[in-house]
Amino acid sequence: MNLLQVLTDVLIPIFLIFGIGFVLGKKKDPDPRPIAHMSIFVFLPSLVFISFLDGDMISKLAVTGVYVIVFTFIMYVLSLITCKMLKFDRSTESALLLSVLFTNSGNFGVPLCTFAFGEEGMINALAYMMYGSVIMYTAAVYIASRGTSTMRESFSNIFKIPLIYALIAAILITYTGKSIPLFIEKPISLLGSAAIPVAMVLLGIQLSHTRVQKTYKPIALSTVFRLVLSPLVAIALTSLMGVNGLLRSVLILESSMPTAINSTLIAIEFDAKPGFVSTVVLVSTIFSVISLSVLLLYLT
């Protein structure tokens, strides 16, 4: 791929759909919560279930899981050390960690890997998204609450993630050698096909509601960590783990996504400077056009 192909074949189509959601959000001001609920509880679980009815793809889950845990831990340590050195208050520290550790691996990462690498890229991206969701709904809640939630309470959130149940069902069916009736598979497949476009429009709507905050230093730092440091750590870690081929490309791309929109929702719930976090989401998404273009040229 050259730069023109990266832009016209991958990034511009994605940002056009984001733009549709953004304009819709500004003009009609729809409530994104019902759309998000449909995406989380219907479309994405359907896509995960259909995609992982494949033993070969399931075998890659372990590698992806180890990678996501180690990568998140490394970024946590680097971010925490930086916060301590710069003497950020605890609230700013929590907001920066939420901005740096959790990537938009679903609404942005899955479409990007699908456009860049096809169906296999999409399935690998879904695996990353699933592990990212588990970490987000456990570690992110603990970080945002500044320790007021116990680890046990945070880990109980795992059982609220529908993707987990969809994956378990797919694994059980695959390894027991069973098959699902066509009249059940077809509607699930159709619902799954809606997951990616709905997620992309939803991200645009959510970005249209962002209120920019002028806290320049920590916002710039979070954006640099998310878009510059993260890819470098990802490249080094995949090399150390001996991961190669398409899986390596997907892991690096997913690790280099802009800040997750759900970080804002968690920051709002626990009052962890949501204005700061939402601004990083917007800024990192805008500047990701540059960082992801460079990464795609490197990876392809």
Instruction: Band the pLDDT of 151: cuts 50, 70, 90.
Output: low
pTM: 0.91
Any idea how long the chain is?
Answer: 300
Mean pLDDT of 121-136: 92
3-state secondary structure the chain: CCHHHHHHHHHHHHHHHHHHHHHHHHHHCCCHHHHHHHHHHHHHHHHHHHHCCCHHHHCCHHHHHHHHHHHHHHHHHHHHHHHHHCCCCHHHHHHHHHHHHCECHHHHHHHHHHHHHHHHHHHHHHHHHHHHHHHHHHHHHHHHCCCCCCHHHHHHHHHHCHHHHHHHHHHHHHHCCCCCCHHHHHHHHHHHHCHHHHHHHHHHHHHHCCCCCCCHHHHHHHHHHHHHHHHHHHHHHHHHHCCCHHHHHHHHHHHCCCECHHHHHHHHHHCCCHHHHHHHHHHHHHHHHHHHHHHHHHHC
Mean pLDDT of 218-222: 94
Assigned token pair, 239: 């090399």
Q: Which segment of 99-103, 149-153, 205-209, 229-233 scores lowest on mean pLDDT? A: 149-153
Residue 185 has pLDDT above 90, yes or no: yes
Between 70 and 270, the more confident residue is: 70
Cβ-contact 112, 7 below 8 angstroms: no
**Exposure b/e, 20-39, CB count within 10 A at least 16 = b:** ebbeebeeeeeebeebbebb
What's the rounded Cα separation, in Å, for the pair 250 and 263?
Answer: 22
Return mean pLDDT, the chain. Answer: 91
Say what the pLDDT of residue 1 is.
74
Say what the pLDDT of residue 49 is.
94
3-299, CATH topology level: Na+/H+ antiporter like fold (1.20.1530)
Residue 149 has pLDDT above 70, yes or no: no
Instruction: Band the pLDDT of 279: cuts 50, 70, 90.
Output: very high
HSE-up of residue 164 (Cα within 13 Å, Cβ side): 12
Residue 13 has pLDDT above 80, yes or no: yes
Residue 289 has pLDDT above 80, yes or no: yes
Q: Could you tell me the residue ranges of all domains in the chain?
A: 3-299
Dihedral of CA atoms 215, 148, 137, 169 in degrees, nearest 10, equals 180
pLDDT tens digits for range 62-120 = 899 999 999 999 999 999 999 999 999 888 999 999 999 999 999 999 999 999 999 99
Say what the pLDDT of residue 56 is.
67
Instruction: Band the pLDDT of 26: cuts 50, 70, 90.
Output: very high
Instruction: Band the pLDDT of 174: cuts 50, 70, 90.
Output: confident
Mean pLDDT of 207-219: 85
Residue 147 has pLDDT above 60, yes or no: no
Assigned token pair, 8: 């016209």
Cβ-contact 172, 2 below 8 angstroms: no
Between 198 and 179, the more confident residue is: 198
Cβ-contact 1, 103 below 8 angstroms: no
Say what the pLDDT of residue 250 is.
98
Q: Which segment of 45-59, 238-252, 284-298 scores lowest on mean pLDDT? A: 45-59
What's the rounded Cα separation, in Å, for the pair 115 and 39?
Answer: 20
Q: Which segment of 22-31, 51-60, 207-216 scores lowest on mean pLDDT? A: 51-60
